[in-house]
Amino acid sequence: MDGQKLFLFDFDGVIVDGMNEYWQSSLLACDKFLNSPDIKINQDLYKKVSNTFKEIRPWVKYGWEMVLIVHEIIKLENPLDKNNKKDFINQYHQNCQKILKNNDWLAEDLQKFLDESRKYQIDKDFEMWVNLHKPFYEVISFMEKLKQEKIKTGIITTKGAIFATKILETLNIFPELIFGYESGTKTEIAKKLYKTYEIVGFIEDRMKTLIEIKQNPDTQNIPCFLADWGYLKESDISTLPKEIRLLKLRNLEDLLAI
């Protein structure tokens, strides 16, 4: 470790609210690339984000899962809705794997379709695509203050790095480091960074990710913060381990005391 301080951030749900973008890009991926016989998409009908999608989003780890979920919500027969949502969530990972198998899909292909959907929108109307993301300006301000304190900033996201970079640039955010899903798991990335930097904090809205970091002997000393403004499950706050701190937007600048 060379003593250089680094503060890490998740992207979606921490720096920006991308719910509208997830929905629109996943819907377009289903419509344009998936070629599923089980769906027929009326774009006017699906302009508004499905409440079922919003409620399932906290369980999502990788982008490809959102394409799968949107497909299940809009399919013609036995769609995923408020009536069977609980059963789907209770066995979330198993259900995702089962749907992949039943449709002969590969997660890598669904991820590719999502990426292609984003590229299509960026090429067609970049401003429209960017505006689907709603920034948390308190976080942006905090990142600027970290830089004033000579603390480097890094983004670790399950979005493709190229897409996160495009959004960050429009917000005038230029972190020293950006890692997308292509770089491996967040714990793997944090482990590598910990060898070089003094990581003084990591803000994430997925509690399981923070638990994985705290349980790994190589990253357990990284201060972890759960963003209460992100995509949380109802149980996250009540079951939060004591070594992970719940963070509110109004308390961000308290972290400058690090």
Phi, psi of 237 (to 5 degrees): -70, -40
- Token duo for residue 190: 């944090």
**Whether pTM exceeds 0.85:** yes
Do 10 and 65 sit in the same domain of this protein? no
Q: How confident is the model at residue 35, as a pLDDT?
A: 86
* Whether residue 61 sits in one domain with residue 86: yes
Cβ contact 34:67 at 8 Å: yes
pLDDT tens-place values along the chain, 258 residues long: 457 999 999 999 999 999 999 999 999 999 999 989 888 877 665 778 999 999 999 999 999 999 999 999 999 999 999 999 999 999 999 999 999 999 999 999 999 999 999 999 999 999 999 999 999 999 999 999 999 999 999 999 999 999 999 999 999 999 999 999 999 999 999 999 999 999 999 999 999 999 999 999 999 999 999 999 999 998 999 999 999 999 999 999 899 876
Q: What is d(CA 154, CA 174) in angstroms, rounded to the nearest whole number?
A: 9
**If you search the block for the tokens 């719940």, which residue do you land on?**
246
Q: What is the pLDDT of residue 44?
A: 63
Which domain-ending residue is among 78, 104, 130? 130
Domain end point (choices 79, 97, 130): 130
Whether residues 99 and 199 share a domain: the answer is: no
Residues 138 and 69 in one domain: no
Q: How many domains would you assign to the chain?
A: 2
Shared domain check, 105 and 166: no
Per-residue DSSP letters for 8-72? Answer: EE-SBTTTEE-HHHHHHHHHHHIIIII--TT----TTTTSSPPHHHHHHGGG--SHHHHHHHHHH
d(CA 8, CA 204): 9
Q: From CA 231, how far away is CA 19, in angstroms rounded?
A: 9
The pLDDT, as a whole number, for residue 211 is 97
Is 87 strand, coil or helix? helix
The 3 state secondary structure assigned to 200-247 is: EEEEECCHHHHHHHHHCCCCCCCCEEEECCCCCCCCCCCCCCCCEEEE
N- to C-terminal Cα separation, the chain: 17
- Report the CATH number that the domain containing residue 232 is assigned in CATH: 3.40.50.1000
144 shares its domain with 239: yes
Residues 67, 149 within the same domain:
no
Same domain, 102 and 13: no
Last residue of a domain, one of 130, 148, 178: 130
Residues 143 and 52 in one domain: no
The answer to whether residues 250 and 143 belong to one domain is yes
Same domain, yes or no: 46 and 155? no
Do residue 106 and residue 140 come from a single domain? no
Domain housing 251: 5-17+134-257
Look at residue 2 in the predicted model and tell me its pLDDT. Answer: 55
